[in-house]
Structure 1
Amino acid sequence: MKCYVVDAFTKEIFKGNPAAVCVLDTWLPDELMQAIAMENNLSETAFAVKEGDAYRLRWFTPGGEIDLCGHATLGTSFVLANFVEPKADRFVFHTLSGDLVVSRNGDLFSMDFPAYDMVPTPVTD
């Protein structure tokens, strides 16, 4: 397994929003991914496994797995584009929040976030 630390939303090292990115050949046990996230001690650690033409992507915080993390998804795309699939200009990720697509245009990456339906929520005491 290779693990990278990527600073999203910046061009400067040690700036922006850091995330760890682990590119795996096969899935590790959930407990081990959680332990790696705790050891990394960053807001998110992303784990990606290639599945067909897309990647399955999961995110862990030191406290547990989460449903969505934008900066770690962009960081994963950066790692894949620079170290795994340098000719790719589009990455599809299957996640707990549905499919996320990141497009690459040179050194720039863009992602469409999922939209959720707004529903009224009653106010409690």
Structure 2
Amino acid sequence: MKCYVVDAFSNEIFKGNPAAVCILDQWVSDELMQKIAQENNLSETAFAIKSNQDRFELRWFYPRG
């Protein structure tokens, strides 16, 4: 899994809202995604899987379930 911290809702570094984005090869359990979100402790952690050449499936979790 690759995981990045991005500045959401902004084109400038250190502006907007920090959020984690995790790229998965396959879905993991909701419990594991919730624990990862808690570990990141950001306003949200998004999980994405590439579903075809130009589309992604997306789920997101907050640090508190």
Q: What TM-score does the superposition give when structure 1 sets the normalisation length? A: 0.47
What corresponds to 1:27 in structure 2? 27
Question: What is the deviation of 1:63?
Answer: 1.7
Structure 1: 4+ residue segments shifted above 6 A? none
5+ residue gaps in structure 1? 65-125
Secondary structure in 1 matching 2:43: coil
Amino-acid identity (%)? 73
Structure exhibiting the larger radius of gyration computed from Cα positions: 1
- Spell out the pairing of 1:16-95 with structure 2 (5 A cutoff): 16-53=16-53, 54-64=55-65
Output the CA distance in 2 between the equivalents of 1:30 and 1:9: 26
CA RMSD in angstroms comes to 1.3
Q: Following the alignment from structure 1 to structure 2, what is the Cα–Cα distance between the partners of residues 12 and 55?
A: 24
If the length of structure 2 is used for normalisation, what is the TM-score? 0.85
Q: Relative CO higher for 1 or 2, CA cutoff 8 Å, sep ≥ 6? A: 2
- Show structure 2 runs of 5+ residues with no match: none
Matched letter for residue 31 of structure 1? E
